[in-house]
């Protein structure tokens, strides 16, 4: 099986060759845990879960390591903690916020059918590794200490006469243009406008840790260094795939590459850089001010997680996605049907017609088209293929039962009315049987008569 992936660095689809097929390694930037995750945040979770499943399918479950971090040190977390728990000491309040938000994130992504990554490292548990990388960077002349900060110098990186990548290569930005376009009001401790923070002082009461050598006061890390440290600890200096949303290419991933490559004198950090496109809602950018900001948590009240998952995968991961009610309704209908015909069937091997498009840079829309094709002729293979994609985690009865619960329809009452209708029909009282059918329809229940008897379901 040949897998081809689009690599943001080389701007082309390339055949995926792992560094070690017995230990395929992938890192994806995870959430900053300060609030409910929104449906845009669900996109990298679902997309890279499909890739994780596909890699396990190709290389074997025991041979793929997927790391997705949890960023639990950030100004937004501090602000939230101070706002929500004004009576508590800040550090305690922060712990409450990150614990609550972390738990909620797990509940959300579990419901979306995403497997837990192999490791979910927390930034606050990797401060030692961050300090170590920072000290290597200072020793190598790529970073410097100024006013209790440590700053990385992209200009020092690009001046180095070595096999390092150029700063700006990933995001295709020229450092010269960045220098020319730099703003004038640059923080006084920076030598150059393009320098970025590796370490900074903490304000009184804020979380703080012993600083890298050369700084007496305690401090805290910048955001970019966190991922370099966690990826290094769990995947090594050089690994296979690094992913995240397209908004992370610059500056976050550009800076991660700079830190890791300069600290370890490497030409590359990851061999493939993958980025998902952005999600918008009913053709508008999602934002709190527009009032169209939707959390995964809210959506899960109205829709099973697998409906959100299917809806996400109908669009190719690199294209922008327009999240609409209409499309959600269609996804729900499709899954209702697949559950009815395939959930209780012994799954066969995933079909080649589904796997092949996935091998071509995760072409999920084409894989879904192939699922529709299997619906008419190979239900066992439909079941196996759906499972490969992370669907059918429930039985058909559980799925239908949940729908009934969500709709507020009382199954016992429906059964009672159906029995009455059957009795009316057998005494040829069609007026009464039609009345009961209309009554059920008004409750949102559709019935189907066949030779085997009458079945019913909740119309969405």
Q: Select from 37-45, 175-183, 197-205, 434-442 the region that touches ligand AMP (CB under 6 A).
A: 37-45
Give the nearer residue to ligand AMP in terms of CB position, either 264 or 278: 278
Report, in Å, the least distance between residue 455 CB and ligand AMP.
Answer: 39
222 interface partner picked from ligand AMP, Zn ion, none, CB below 5 to 8 A per type? none
Contact pattern for ligand AMP over residues 4 through 33, marking x by CB under 6 A: -------------------------x-xx-
245 interface partner picked from ligand AMP, Zn ion, none, CB below 5 to 8 A per type? ligand AMP
Report, in Å, the least distance between residue 76 CB and ligand AMP.
Answer: 9
Does 286 contact ligand AMP by CB under 6 A?
A: yes
**What's the rounded Cα separation, in Å, for the pair 256 and 260?**
6
Q: Which of 151, 156, 229, 248 binds ligand AMP (CB under 6 A)?
A: 248
Report, in Å, the least distance between residue 23 CB and Zn ion.
Answer: 21
Report, in Å, the least distance between residue 227 CB and Zn ion.
Answer: 3
Q: How far is CA 171 from the centre of its chain?
A: 21
Does 41 contact ligand AMP by CB under 6 A?
A: yes
Task: With CB under 5 A as the rule, give the number of residues binding Zn ion.
Answer: 2
Does 279 contact ligand AMP by CB under 6 A?
A: yes
Give the nearer residue to ligand AMP in terms of CB position, either 295 or 353: 295
C-alpha distance from residue 38 to each of 32, 74, 94, 277, 402 (Å) = 12, 18, 21, 15, 23
Report, in Å, the least distance between residue 244 CB and ligand AMP.
Answer: 4
- Alpha-helix residue ranges (DSSP H) falling in 343-410: 352-359, 364-375, 379-388, 396-407
C-beta neighbour count of 291 within 10 angstroms: 8
Does 29 contact Zn ion by CB under 5 A?
A: yes
C-beta neighbour count of 408 within 10 angstroms: 9
Q: Select from 92-100, 263-271, 275-283, 408-416 the region that touches ligand AMP (CB under 6 A).
A: 275-283
| DSSP β-bridge partners for residue 360 | 4
Give the nearer residue to ligand AMP in terms of CB position, either 29 or 93: 29
Q: Which of 28, 55, 227, 313 binds Zn ion (CB under 5 A)?
A: 227
Instruction: Write the DSSP assignment of 154-175 as a string of letters.
Output: HHHHHHS-SSPPPTTTTTT--H
Instruction: Return the residue nearest ligand AMP (CB atom).
Output: 245
Return contacts of 323-332, CB within 8 angstroms, 24+ apart: 323/39, 323/279, 323/280, 323/281, 323/282, 323/294, 324/281, 324/282, 324/283, 325/282, 328/303, 329/460, 331/307, 332/303, 332/304, 332/307, 332/460
| 261 phi, psi to nearest 5 deg | -65, -40
- Reduce the DSSP state of residue 323 to 3 states and report it: strand
Report, in Å, the least distance between residue 223 CB and ligand AMP.
Answer: 9
Does 307 contact ligand AMP by CB under 6 A?
A: no
Report, in Å, the least distance between residue 312 CB and ligand AMP.
Answer: 10
Q: Which of 85, 209, 278, 293 binds ligand AMP (CB under 6 A)?
A: 278
Burial per residue of 325-356, b for 16 or more beta-carbon CB atoms within 10 angstroms, e otherwise: eeebeebbebbbebbeebbeeebbebbebbbe
Does 293 contact ligand AMP by CB under 6 A?
A: no
Give the nearer residue to ligand AMP in terms of CB position, either 145 or 227: 227
Q: Both tokens of residue 99? A: 């614990």
Contact pattern for ligand AMP over residues 321 through 360, marking x by CB under 6 A: ----------------------------------------
User: Tokens 């229940």 map to which residue?
Assistant: 445
Give the H or E element holding residue 220.
strand 219-221
- Alpha-helix residue ranges (DSSP H) falling in 236-359: 254-264, 296-302, 305-313, 325-342, 352-359
- Reduce the DSSP state of residue 117 to 3 states and report it: coil
Report, in Å, the least distance between residue 237 CB and Zn ion.
Answer: 16
227 interface partner picked from ligand AMP, Zn ion, none, CB below 5 to 8 A per type? Zn ion
Does 154 contact ligand AMP by CB under 6 A?
A: no
Helix 254-264 vs helix 127-139: crossing angle, to nearest 10? 70
**What's the rounded Cα separation, in Å, for the pair 285 and 99?**
29
Site for ligand AMP in 43-62 (CB under 6 A): 43-44
**What's the rounded Cα separation, in Å, for the pair 133 and 124?**
15
Question: Which residues of this chain interact with ligand AMP, rule CB under 6 A?
Answer: 29, 31-32, 40-41, 43-44, 244-245, 247-248, 276, 278-279, 286
């Amino acid at each position: 099986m040949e897998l081809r992936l689009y690599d943001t660095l080389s701007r082309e689809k390339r055949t995926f060759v792992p560094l070690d097929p017995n230990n395929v390694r992938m890192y994806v930037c995870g959430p900053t845990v300060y609030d409910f995750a929104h449906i845009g945040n669900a996109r990298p979770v679902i997309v890279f879960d499909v890739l994780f499943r596909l890699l396990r399918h190709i290389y074997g479950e025991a041979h793929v390591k997927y790391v997705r971090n949890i960023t639990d040190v950030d100004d937004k977390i501090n602000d939230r903690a101070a706002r929500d728990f004004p009576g508590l000491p800040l550090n305690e309040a922060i712990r409450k916020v990150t614990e609550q938000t972390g738990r909620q994130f797990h509940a959300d992504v579990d419901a979306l059918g995403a497997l837990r990554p192999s490791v979910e490292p927390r930034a606050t548990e990797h401060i030692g590794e961050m300090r170590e990388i920072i000290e290597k960077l200072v020793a190598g002349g790529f970073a410097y200490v100024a006013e209790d900060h440590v700053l990385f110098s992209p200009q020092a990186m690009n001046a180095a006469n070595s096999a390092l990548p150029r700063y700006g290569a990933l995001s295709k930005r020229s450092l010269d243009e960045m220098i020319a376009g730099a703003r004038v009001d640059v923080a006084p401790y920076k030598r150059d406008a393009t320098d970025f923070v590796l370490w900074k002082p903490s304000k009184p009461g804020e979380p703080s840790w012993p600083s890298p050598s050369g700084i007496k006061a305690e401090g805290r890390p910048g955001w970019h260094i966190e991922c370099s440290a966690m990826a290094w600890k769990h995947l090594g200096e050089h690994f296979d795939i690094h992913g995240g949303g397209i908004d992370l290419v610059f500056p976050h991933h550009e800076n991660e590459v700079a830190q890791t490559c300069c600290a370890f004198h490497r030409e590359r950090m990851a061999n493939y850089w993958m980025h998902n496109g952005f999600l918008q809602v009913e053709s508008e950018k999602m934002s709190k001010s527009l009032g169209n900001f939707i959390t995964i948590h809210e959506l899960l009240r109205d829709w099973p997680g697998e409906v959100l998952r299917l809806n996400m995968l109908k669009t190719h991961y690199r294209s922008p996605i327009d999240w609409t009610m209409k499309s959600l309704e269609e996804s729900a209908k499709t899954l209702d049907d697949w559950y009815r015909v395939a959930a209780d069937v012994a799954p066969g091997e995933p079909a080649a017609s589904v796997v092949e498009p996935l091998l071509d840079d995760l072409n999920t829309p084409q894989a879904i088209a192939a699922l529709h094709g299997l619906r008419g002729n190979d239900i066992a293979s439909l079941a196996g293929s759906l499972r490969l994609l992370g669907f059918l985690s429930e039985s058909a009865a559980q799925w239908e039962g949940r729908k009934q619960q969500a709709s507020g329809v009382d199954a016992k009452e429906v059964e009672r009315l159906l029995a009455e209708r059957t009795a009316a029909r057998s005494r040829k009282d069609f007026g009464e049987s039609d009345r009961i059918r209309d009554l059920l329809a008004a409750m949102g229940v559709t019935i189907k008569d066949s030779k085997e008897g009458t079945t019913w379901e909740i119309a969405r």
